[in-house]
Amino acid sequence: MNLNESAIFQISLDFPSLNQYLCSVPNNSKKYTLALQKGFKPEALNKGCWIGVINAERIPPHIGMIFNGKYCSLNIKGKEIDVEAAVLLRKMEILRVPTLFIKLIPHPVFSVDFLHEHFKLELEKHEKVTLETTCFAPVRAFMQENYLLKQEELDFLFKLFPILYREQMIEKAFGLHVSDDNTNTFSFVPYTQKSIEDKLNDIQHVKQ
pLDDT higher than 90, residue 204 = no
Mean pLDDT, residues 36-43 taken together: 94
Digit-coded pLDDT (tens) for 136-183: 999 999 999 998 786 657 888 998 998 898 889 999 999 999 876 567
**What pLDDT does 141 receive?**
93
What band does 192 get if pLDDT is binned at 50, 70 and 90? confident
pTM: 0.81
Instruction: Give the Cα-Cα-Cα angle 134, 34, 20 (nearest 5 degrees).
Output: 140
In degrees and rounded to multiples of 5, residue 111 shows phi and psi of -75, 165
Lowest mean pLDDT among 11-20, 86-95, 172-181: 11-20
What band does 196 get if pLDDT is binned at 50, 70 and 90? confident
CB neighbourhood size of 98 (10 A): 20
Element (H, E) at 204: helix 193-207
